[in-house]
Chains A and B, each alone.
Chain A
C-alpha cells in the first residue's frame, strides 16, 4: 500500500514520555504467531513489543537504560493481541457515517468524521478492540476511503489515513432513495433498486477506466490496479455473485464485506478467492440486513471451504465466541479477530500478533478468551492500559 500515509507519533506509550519497560508474565500467551506459549512472557518497551517467549532473558535486551518492571498476572491469566476490527462505523460521528447528497464521493475520507471521544468507541476499546478500520457507510454507492486507527488516545495513532475504498453492492443506497410512493421522480435519485446500484457502479468504474482526468478517479484507478484495497459490501448471495461479475468486467480484486449469505455461494467464492470481512451477528435472529438469511455457522462453513475471512463489528470477542460455538474452529476464531483482519486490511506488520517489533496492543484475560465466563482485566494500546475497574 504505497499510497497510504503512516502517521505514528512516537510518544504514545507512557504518561510522561519517559522510557519504560515492563515484563508481563502470564499463564498463557496467544501470540497468533505460532503455538500459544504456556506459560509466557511479553516484554513491552516504549509502546512496542520487544521480546516474547516462555522466559524472556532481560540480560540480552537493550532497555534504553531503564529498569524493567515485572508484572505477574497470576494463575489462569491469558494474554492475546488486541482485536482488529476490519470494518466498522462505530468510530464515526453519528452524523458523519454516510454521504447522502451524491451517490459517488470517491474523495471523501472517513478520517475527517471520526469522533475520538465517542462513548461507543470507548466501549469497543474496553471490549478488546484496539485497531479499527473506520469506513464510510453504504447509504451511497461509493462512499470514499477508510482510515485505520487505534481506539485509544484520541487519534494519536493513525495507521492508515486514507486507505481502502468503499463501494456498496447492496440495496442500502436504493432503499434510502426509494420513496415508497408515486411519483418517485423529482424527490429522489437513482438508484431506487439494485439494478440502479449495479448501473452506478458500472458507470463509475467505466468512467474511471476511460478517464484521462488525473484527479477525479485517481483513487478508484488505484483500487482497480490493486494499489489500494477495494471493499465491497454485499450480503445477499446474488449480490456476492454480482461483485464477481463486476470484478470480471473491470478487472479488480475486491475484499467482500458483509457476506451474510456467503455460505450459499461458497463454491463461487472458492473459485475467486476474495477475502471476506464478515458481519457476523450474534444469534437470536434468523434475518440479517436486507432480509439476508443468516446461518449461524457461516464462519465455520467458510473456514472448512478454506476461505480467508475476518469477523468484524462491535464486540468482536463475543462474535468469535458464538462463531466457535456454532462450529468454527477455535484457532480460526481467534485469528479471525486478530491476525487475519490485520492481514486483510494491510497492517499485519504492526498489529494482530504478539511478536517482537509489533505495537504493544494486548488484552489480559482471567482465563481462556473464548470461554463465556472469562472476563477482560485490561486492554493495552501502544503500551498504555485501560483501567477496567475505574472506567467500566
Chain B
C-alpha cells in the first residue's frame, strides 16, 4: 500500500493520463481466427489447467469461443477442418484474473460528495481494449474486476470484464459485478463530518447497508406474496443481487483492526459474500478468522510487510496460507501497480514462501472463485471461456514472457504477428 497523500497525487496524475490516453479508431488487433464456424486446436508442451494436475504434451480444442476439450495430445483427436496452432514448446494456462483494477475505462473513479454511493455504477464508462488493457493482455491478464475508487466508503458498483476488444456488451462478464466498499484509509474525512474516524465510517456504511437490506427484504416478501410491493427505489436496486449473495462485495480493508470490523459487520452481521481486497500490513494475523468463515483474500498491491517481532520481511500471502485461507490470490490495484504486472505479484509471493502451484491458481481460479465467475473463467475445462495464455515457460518466472493470448477463443495478442509488448 502507498500512503494516502501519495495515492491522491497518483490518482490525479493517472486521471490526467487517462484523459490523454489515445484509443485507436480502427482496432486492428483483432485476429481473424474464426472460432465460430471452425474450431481451433492448440498443441502445447505443458498445460496448467488449474483444474487438476498439469498435462504434458497437451492439446486444447476451442469451439465457439469456449473450451471444447483439454487433454494429452494422444487422447485428443483434432476434428477435421480445425485450425491447428502449434505451441508444442510452450506452456499454457488460463487467462489471469485481476480482482482489483481501475484501468477498465475513462478513469471516473470517485464521486466524492456523499460517503455512500450505491446508486453509482462504472460500466457506462468502460473503454474495451484500451491501451492499458492491451499491455495487460501481454502480461496474460484476460479478466479484470473494474471497480470504483476508495475515495468514499461506498464507491458504487463495479463490473467484471474481459480485457480484449469488442463492444461493451461483448466484454462485460457481469454487471453489476461487485459492490465496492472502503472501510478505512482513503475514505477518511477530515472536514468535520460523521465518518472522520473508524466508528463513524462504519456507522455510515452500516446505515446504508441496512437501508438496502430492508428494501431487498421488503421486495423478497412481496415476491413471496407476504407483503405489498415496496415503492420502487432506483438508488437501492443494485442491492438486490448483493443481498441475494449473487455478487460479492470487494472491500478496501487492511490492518488487523479494520479487517476485524469487515468480518464482524459485512460477513457476520450482513451475511454478504465478502472479498478482502487489500488485506495488507499486519492484517494476515487475523487469517484464522477469515479461514474459519471461508472469506477469500486477494492480497496486495504490495504484499509484503516488515514483521517487527521477527525482524524480517514476510510475504503476507504466505502468512494467510499458513493460517488456512483457501481462496487466496493477489491484486495490483492497477494502476497502482501496472496491470500487466499481476503475475509479478504472485512471483513475489512465491519468493516469500507461497507454493508455485498455489500462486498460479491464485491469479486464475481462486480469483475467479472470489469474484463468483469461476463458472466462466479461471481454469481450462470444457465449457469454460477459451481464455488461454501461451508463455515461454512458467509465468511466475520473470524471464519468461507471454507468446499468445486467446480471449473467448480469439487470438487477441500474438508475438509472432504483433510486436512483443511486454
In the complex, the answer to whether B111 meets A202 with C-beta atoms within 8 Å is no
In the complex, A194 has a CB within 8 A of chain B? yes
In the complex, the answer to whether B191 meets A186 with C-beta atoms within 8 Å is yes
B interface, how many residues as a size bin? Answer: 35 or more
Interface string of A287-319 (1 = CB under 8 A from B): 000110101000000000000000000000000
In the complex, the answer to whether B23 meets A206 with C-beta atoms within 8 Å is no
* Shortest Cβ gap from B69 to chain A (Å): 34
In the complex, the answer to whether B190 meets A291 with C-beta atoms within 8 Å is no
Docked pose: A386 CA to B295 CA in angstroms: 77
* Shortest Cβ gap from B141 to chain A (Å): 20
In the complex, the answer to whether A196 meets B120 with C-beta atoms within 8 Å is yes
**Given A183, A190, A202, A267, which contacts B234 in the complex, CB threshold below 8 Å?**
A202
Docked pose: A61 CA to B110 CA in angstroms: 68
Interface string of A253-265 (1 = CB under 8 A from B): 0000000000110
In the complex, B218 has a CB within 8 A of chain A? no
In the complex, the answer to whether B111 meets A196 with C-beta atoms within 8 Å is yes
Stretch at the interface among B55-63, B124-132, B242-250, B297-305: B124-132
Stretch at the interface among B101-109, B264-272, B274-282, B412-420: B101-109
In the complex, the answer to whether B193 meets A293 with C-beta atoms within 8 Å is no
In the complex, the answer to whether A238 meets B126 with C-beta atoms within 8 Å is yes
In the complex, the answer to whether B114 meets A210 with C-beta atoms within 8 Å is no
In the complex, B168 has a CB within 8 A of chain A? yes
In the complex, the answer to whether A198 meets B113 with C-beta atoms within 8 Å is no
When A183-B190, A236-B106, A293-B22 are in contact, do A242 and B124 touch as well, CB less than 8 Å?
yes
Residues on B with beta carbons closer than 8 Å to the beta carbon of A183: 112, 189-191, 193
- Nearest A residue to B156 by beta-carbon distance? A195
When A185-B193, A199-B120, A203-B234 are in contact, do A190 and B125 touch as well, CB less than 8 Å?
no
Docked pose: A195 CA to B110 CA in angstroms: 8
In the complex, A67 has a CB within 8 A of chain B? no
Q: Which residues 262-278 of A have a CB within 8 angstroms of B? A: 263-264, 267-268
Docked pose: A190 CA to B191 CA in angstroms: 17
Docked pose: A245 CA to B114 CA in angstroms: 25
When A202-B234, A263-B25 are in contact, do A195 and B122 touch as well, CB less than 8 Å?
yes
Residues on B with beta carbons closer than 8 Å to the beta carbon of A174: 108
Per DSSP, are chain A's interface residues mostly helix, strand or loop, or mixed?
A: helix
Residues on B with beta carbons closer than 8 Å to the beta carbon of A189: 113
In the complex, B71 has a CB within 8 A of chain A? no
Residues on A with beta carbons closer than 8 Å to the beta carbon of B110: 192-193
Interface string of B11-49 (1 = CB under 8 A from A): 000000001101101000000000000000000000000
Residues on A with beta carbons closer than 8 Å to the beta carbon of B234: 202-203, 206
In the complex, B293 has a CB within 8 A of chain A? no
In the complex, the answer to whether A238 meets B113 with C-beta atoms within 8 Å is no
- Nearest B residue to A265 by beta-carbon distance? B167
In the complex, the answer to whether A192 meets B112 with C-beta atoms within 8 Å is yes
In the complex, A57 has a CB within 8 A of chain B? no
Docked pose: A183 CA to B187 CA in angstroms: 10
In the complex, the answer to whether B109 meets A193 with C-beta atoms within 8 Å is yes
* Shortest Cβ gap from A49 to chain B (Å): 42
In the complex, the answer to whether A238 meets B119 with C-beta atoms within 8 Å is no
Can you list 24 pairs linking A and B with CB atoms under 8 Å apart? A183-B112, A185-B112, A185-B189, A191-B111, A191-B113, A192-B110, A193-B111, A194-B106, A194-B108, A195-B111, A195-B124, A195-B148, A195-B156, A198-B120, A198-B124, A199-B111, A199-B119, A203-B119, A203-B235, A210-B232, A238-B106, A238-B168, A291-B20, A293-B23
Q: Nearest 7 CB-CB pairs, A to B?
A: A183-B191, A184-B112, A193-B108, A194-B108, A291-B19, A242-B124, A195-B120
Chain B residues within CB distance 8 Å of chain A: 8, 19-20, 22-23, 25, 105-106, 108-115, 117, 119-122, 124-127, 148, 156, 167-168, 189-191, 193, 232, 234-235
List 18 additional A-B contacts (Cβ < 8 Å) besides A193-B109, A198-B121, A238-B127: A171-B108, A178-B112, A182-B8, A183-B112, A183-B189, A185-B191, A190-B111, A194-B108, A195-B111, A196-B111, A196-B120, A202-B234, A237-B127, A238-B168, A241-B167, A242-B125, A293-B22, A295-B25
